[in-house]
Chains A and B, each alone.
Chain A
Amino acid sequence: MSDTTYGNVATFDTRPDMAIPRESPLSVAYHRGSVPAPSRDGQVLLEEKPFLGHLILRGGAIVLDEALREVLGINLPGRPLGLALDESGECSVQWMSPDEWLVIVPGGEEFELENRLRSKLGEAHFAIVNVSGGQTLVELSGEKARDVLMKSVPYDVHPQNFPVGKAVSTVFAKASAILRRPAEDRWELVLRRSFADYGYRWLLDAGEEFGIGVKR
């Protein structure tokens, strides 16, 4: 593993070099629960995007914005509940709280990003935490995806209140989750690993009436 030290912070790559079988947070649910196949008349499609790189950035907005623009090419969303994506839509930065942002990048890129951010930020007052192993991203699409969410979150998901480019952390199925809307027809849920199985089963139950299908 390529370990690096920045000042008094040592970083290490949490991804093993060797080919070790790995399981997504939903693997237990796939093995033990049901996995309804997507059907032609299904109106909701669920797809997990496992093994992405999740980084929590904390610090001052101005310093982080400068570093992030240079390293990732994305402006830090300065306004509350903002979600910024790059052109490919694969990298995103989300406002979590006034001094906290969630960066999601394709799996395997998070360690390099962390190192580049650390060397760019230098002596600034900040923190970067790799939380990739702690949460997973579940994507809902289809014309009734919003109806499934209406059954699951107390937050108002009407397009008027929830335009594209918004992301909130709220109650989902009596637990907590992050709800994001990266595109007109797609919703993303960031579930904690320990809640992923529960959230998945909840979504299957809530989506049953709309013929929910799971893409694997």
Chain B
Amino acid sequence: MFYIHCPYCDEHREEEEFHPKGQAHIVRPADPENCTDEEWGDYLFFRDNPRGIHHELWVHALGCRKFFNITRNTVTYEIYETYKVGEQPSVTAERLAAKEKQSGVQVADGGWQTVGARPESLDLNASNEEERA
């Protein structure tokens, strides 16, 4: 169970009260009449499925019924922050990677598709297994 901080109610609530609504920060093409089919298709149907940091839209369905954003890690399920709609995340994959690189820690990088996974994932899994062992 998640214990989620609602930025509007300003307190932590049980996951039961919330519904996930998919990827956040999806930008509608400015000129739908003149964009390509591919652009429109990407906007309507295609979503990121990252391993690592993901920005998601959630709704406090049984509380204040407001939509807000969550930055969370899809590997560890850790929630880094929640912020109101219209605000920008302070925790992003780039910033976290840069920060952890400085401290010499290898991290799962967010933002790449699991479909057709890149070869780096093998290294990543191998290092994880070493850590577990």
Interface residues of A (CB under 8 A from B): 80-81, 96-98, 100, 154-155, 168-171, 176
CB of A194, distance to nearest CB on chain B (Å): 16
Which residues of B lie under 8 Å from residue A100 when comparing CB positions? 64
Chain A interface, DSSP helix/strand/loop, else mixed: strand
Name the interface size band of chain B. Answer: 10 to 19
14 A-B contact pairs sorted by A residue (CB < 8 Å):
A80-B8, A81-B10, A96-B64, A97-B66, A154-B14, A154-B16, A155-B13, A169-B64, A170-B17, A170-B62, A170-B63, A171-B14, A171-B62, A176-B62
Interface residues of B (CB under 8 A from A): 8-11, 13-14, 16-17, 62-66
In the bound complex, CA of A97 to CA of B67 (Å):
11
Closest Cβ neighbor of B10 among chain A residues: A80
In the complex, besides A98-B66, A154-B14, A169-B62, 17 extra interface pairs with C-beta distance below 8 angstroms are A80-B8, A80-B10, A80-B11, A80-B64, A81-B11, A97-B8, A97-B64, A98-B8, A154-B16, A154-B17, A155-B14, A168-B9, A169-B63, A170-B63, A171-B14, A171-B17, A176-B62
Which residues of B lie under 8 Å from residue A169 when comparing CB positions? 62-64
Which residues of A lie under 8 Å from residue B14 when comparing CB positions? 154-155, 171
In the bound complex, CA of A155 to CA of B13 (Å):
7
Chain B interface, DSSP helix/strand/loop, else mixed: loop
In the bound complex, CA of A98 to CA of B65 (Å):
10
Closest Cβ neighbor of B63 among chain A residues: A169
Closest Cβ neighbor of A81 among chain B residues: B9
Which residues of A lie under 8 Å from residue B11 when comparing CB positions? 80-81
CB of B3, distance to nearest CB on chain A (Å): 10
B16 touching A171 by the CB < 8 A rule?
yes
Which residues of B lie under 8 Å from residue A168 when comparing CB positions? 9, 63
CB of A139, distance to nearest CB on chain B (Å): 21
Which residues of B lie under 8 Å from residue A80 when comparing CB positions? 8-11, 64
In the bound complex, CA of A108 to CA of B17 (Å):
33
Closest Cβ neighbor of B84 among chain A residues: A98
Closest Cβ neighbor of B64 among chain A residues: A97
In the bound complex, CA of A94 to CA of B9 (Å):
13
Closest Cβ neighbor of B61 among chain A residues: A176
In the bound complex, CA of A87 to CA of B13 (Å):
31
Which residues of A lie under 8 Å from residue B8 when comparing CB positions? 80, 97-98
In the bound complex, CA of A81 to CA of B13 (Å):
13
In the bound complex, CA of A96 to CA of B63 (Å):
8
In the bound complex, CA of A171 to CA of B13 (Å):
10
In the bound complex, CA of A100 to CA of B63 (Å):
12
